[in-house]
Amino acid sequence: MTQTVAVLGAGKIGEALVSGLLRAGQAPADVLVTARRPERAAELHRRYGVEAVSNEQAAKAADTLILTVKPQDMGALLDELAPHVPADRLVVSGAAGVPTGWFEQRLAPGTPVVRVMTNTPVLVDEAMSVISAGAHATEEHLRRTEEIFRHVGRTVRVPESQQDAATALSGSGPAYFYLLVEAMTDAGILLGLPRTVAHDLIVQSAIGASVMLRDSGEHPVKLREAVTSPAGTTIAAIRELENHGVRAAFLAALEAARDRSRELAGGR
Ligand SMILES: NC(=O)C1=CN([C@@H]2O[C@H](COP(=O)(O)OP(=O)(O)OC[C@H]3O[C@@H](n4cnc5c(N)ncnc54)[C@H](OP(=O)(O)O)[C@@H]3O)[C@@H](O)[C@H]2O)C=CC1
Ligand SMILES: O=C(O)[C@@H]1CCC=N1
């Protein structure tokens, strides 16, 4: 990796990407960051030794620009950035909802744009990053993007038409698991366990179940069946989950997340 990468709007996701790039061997001199607040810029410089520059300087200096501001801040960023981005730069957007066409309309004709939906496990190198090409992005641009995001987890390519669904599933996905852990810990307390014990039991069960899902190659139904003994405890719980419509709640919830991602496309 010898190309310069700039992370514009280095908040939670942007900082995790900077950290991943450096751990993968990219020299701090080849990584630029931008921030809205001077104290945030200083913090990133202190932590990682990377140079904090203006958005305009980043646009002029970096081969790849990764935009990690919130969707609602993307309009202001593009107004500032667009006049300074040469058409041979690769622009990677990490924002939920915003289509590549929106960037293409604001950048010089022919500028390659790639859209990525990652997730917060990027902080522990276990991200799921979902990648789509815009109209002018070639195989080489997709590979460059994959190379960056592979340092912090897995990558998968999908057509851009599937990005709002991917945002609902893996972009927001970690939040659903945290909610589940929270609810199950409360249940443990209801059953008389100390909070710390309940938390540890659920977290380790979640880790064990996740590793089995990833490594066994078995369908989740098979894995669940192996836990569910005839007339046993698990089926008693599953009856209640079905009675309370948990499966239907997930279908409705992910539809709502997908719809919100679509709405963000028009919200800047
Ligand atoms: N959080 C998540 O789980 C996921 C988020 N995403 C997407 O990633 C993006 C970033 O999310 P996240 O990291 O959580 O958000 P953060 O708010 O942590 O990071 C965004 C950063 O951009 C800065 N910023 C805003 N405008 C500008 C500007 N014009 N120039 C320079 N910096 C600017 C903000 O500054 P300030 O600190 O002053 O606000 C902030 O530090 C979003 O688009 C989101 O849709 C994608 C997948 C998962
Ligand atoms: O909630 C959000 O809008 C962002 C995008 C995916 C996860 N967090």
pLDDT, one tens digit per residue, over 94-122 is 999 999 999 999 999 999 999 999 999 99
CA pair distance 185, 194, nearest whole angstrom: 9
**Nearest protein Cα to ligand 1, atom 14:** 12
Nearest Cα to 97, choosing from 182, 165, 189, 181? Answer: 165
How far away, in angstroms, is 152 Cα from ligand 1 center?
18
**Residue 158: both structure tokens together:** 């999908």
Question: For the chain, what is the domain count?
Answer: 2
Both 124 and 43 in a single domain? yes
Indicate which ligand has the atom closest to the C-alpha of 95. 1
CA distances from 94 to 29, 156, 174 (A): 23, 14, 17
Indicate the pTM of the whole model: 0.95
Both 58 and 101 in a single domain? yes
CB-count exposure of residue 10 (10 Å: 0-12, 13-18, 19+): buried
**Which of 34, 36, 260 is the pocket-test mutation for ligand 1 (most atoms within 8 Å of CB)?**
36
Query: Is the C-beta atom of 163 inside 6 A of ligand 2?
Result: no
Both 85 and 189 in a single domain? no
Both 10 and 30 in a single domain? yes
Query: Is the C-beta atom of 167 inside 6 A of ligand 2?
Result: yes
**Residue 185: both structure tokens together:** 């810990």
Query: Is the C-beta atom of 68 inside 6 A of ligand 2?
Result: no
Q: What is the DSSP string of 36-92?
A: SSHHHHHHHHHHH-PEE--HHHHHHH-SEEEE-S-GGGHHHHHHHHGGG--TTSEEE
**Residue 103: both structure tokens together:** 């960037």
CA pair distance 44, 19, nearest whole angstrom: 10
Segments of 105-193 assigned E as strands: 113-117, 127-133, 153-157
Query: Tens of pLDDT along 18-71?
Result: 999 999 899 999 999 999 999 999 999 999 999 999 999 999 999 999 999 999
ipTM of the complex: 0.98
Indicate which ligand has the atom closest to the C-alpha of 127. 1
**Residue 155 within a domain:** yes
Query: Is the C-beta atom of 97 inside 6 A of ligand 1?
Result: no
Both 226 and 249 in a single domain? yes
Ligand 1 atom at minimal distance to the Cα of residue 71: 43
How far away, in angstroms, is 44 Cα from ligand 2 center?
23
**Residue 168 within a domain:** no
**Residue 101: both structure tokens together:** 């066409």
68, 15 Cβ separation under 8 angstroms: no
Q: State residue 66's pLDDT score.
A: 98
Both 148 and 115 in a single domain? yes
Both 110 and 195 in a single domain? no
207 lies in which domain range? 173-264
CB-count exposure of residue 228 (10 Å: 0-12, 13-18, 19+): middle
Both 180 and 78 in a single domain? no
Q: Does 79 score more than 60 pLDDT?
A: yes
Both 196 and 63 in a single domain? no
Residue 227's Cβ-side half-sphere holds a number of Cα atoms within 13 Å equal to: 14
